Amino acid sequence: MRIRPLISVFAAASLLVATALTGCSLIDEDISRCNNQVRLTYQLELDPEIIQELEDELDLHADEDIRAMLKGYIDGIFTNYARDVDLLFYDTEEPQALLRSMSETMNSASNTYAISMPVRSYMHAAIANVKVSEEVQIADSDRFPPLRLEHNKNGDYYTPQRSGIFTVRRRLDVGEKANQRFRIKLGMANSATALILDTGKATHVTDLRVVVNGMSTAFNVADSVYVYDDTAVFSTEEFSTGYKHCFAAVHFPSHDAVDEEDEDETKATEYDDDDVERKTWRWYVYATLDDGTVTRSTLEMRPSVKAGQLKIRNAFVKEDGEVGSNEVDVSVTVKLDWKPGLDIEVPI
């Protein structure tokens, strides 16, 4: 008759010990101190349409030799493979302070991490491939916002990024249910541009420099908004074969373009010249001639470069260093005997 009470006492004591070890109160209504094991699966996602767009852009604008070099350049960037991932967990209440951060090795397109976390709601951000990228860094991560990614400036230029950057932000509600699972997809945050120049007739040109202007210098992860510095200049990587020279760069996207085709013809659309200027991006081509003078050509582009996109355009260099293009969406202005200091400073 005494066995049952002894067993009950022993079970109750064991439960109290287990509760003490986990730090949870079975009576207290506040369960935010209770830990639960959650499984977070992170997956890098490249839209199949993006891959097809890349192939179409290469087929349309690049001949065989340049295509092979340019494809080799972007293949390691436009790929759903991450070497590392940073995991950040924030309070959902103001000031949304950082509660926990982790840096994990990924080395795949998808990976799962088992993490013991207090039961509560979080604002969560995951950022892949920053650790392997010297050009991009995580900034102001102690709160969400102003958590952001910054493209580091190297001297006078922003140098091209060398890895695909993937991000995601979402709310996580960690409950009492054991082994709670979350599948989290990361999207690409950067893009690329390439200008292919034919120098077959550039008989007096001794040197070519190409830079890009109009791209974002930072990305606010909390609200997925890109930040712009209209004076920022991005250097390019050069690939050459014969008379063909390709100048490519990986960077954050451009401003959204003012797309006249998408405008509603039944409504008046109001914007001024300054707005149009901000909605475009451009290549500056600096051609040094054999007499020491410099010809600067500005290739203005209206189609925006969105995250995950590659934009390629063709142009040709004339005898005096002037650049021309037969592409319908490229407008060119030329300054002969260009001198530094009149506009955006670009060291030659």
Three-state secondary structure string covering 183-232: EEEEEECCEEEEEEEECCCCCCEEEEEEEEECEEEEEECCCCEEEECCCC
The Cβ-side half-sphere exposure at 244, using a 13 Å CA radius, reads 19
**Type of residue at 343:** D
Confidence of residue 31 (pLDDT cuts 50, 70, 90): very low
Q: Shortest CA distance to 279 belongs to which of 302, 251, 313?
A: 302
Instruction: Decide: helix, strand or coil at residue 143.
Output: strand
Q: How far apart are CA 31 and CA 116, in angstroms?
A: 14
The answer to which of 25-34, 77-86, 160-169, 247-256 has the lowest mean pLDDT is 25-34
For the segment 65-103, what is each residue's pLDDT rounded down to a tens digit? 888 898 899 888 999 899 999 999 999 999 999 999 999
**Is the pLDDT score of 165 beyond 80?**
yes
For 241-274, the pLDDT digits (tens) are 999 999 999 999 998 744 434 333 323 333 344 4
For residues 306-324, give the mean pLDDT.
Answer: 94
- pLDDT band at residue 32 using 50, 70 and 90 as cut-offs: low
Q: What is the reported pLDDT for 33?
A: 64
Specify the pTM.
Answer: 0.83
List of domains in the chain: 36-49+58-188 (2.60.40), 190-335 (2.60.40)
- At 213-249, the pLDDT tens digits run 999 999 999 999 999 999 999 999 999 999 999 999 9
CA distance 207 to 81: 37
CA distances from 43 to 39, 128, 133, 274, 328 (A): 13, 10, 19, 40, 38
Position 27 confidence tier, pLDDT thresholds 50, 70, 90: very low
pLDDT at residue 170 greater than cutoff 50:
yes
The pLDDT > 70 percentage for the chain reads 82
**What span, in angstroms and rounded, lies between the C-alpha atoms of 174 and 189?**
27
Q: What is the DSSP string of 59-80?
A: HHH--HHHHHHHHHHHHTTSSS
- Are the C-beta atoms of residues 299 and 282 closer than 8 Å to each other? yes
Rounded to an integer, what distance in angstroms lies between the CA atom of residue 153 and that of residue 149?
13
**What ranges in the chain are assigned the alpha helix state H?**
3-22, 48-61, 64-75, 273-278
Look at residue 1 in the predicted model and tell me its pLDDT: 42
Top-confidence residue, 211 or 62: 211
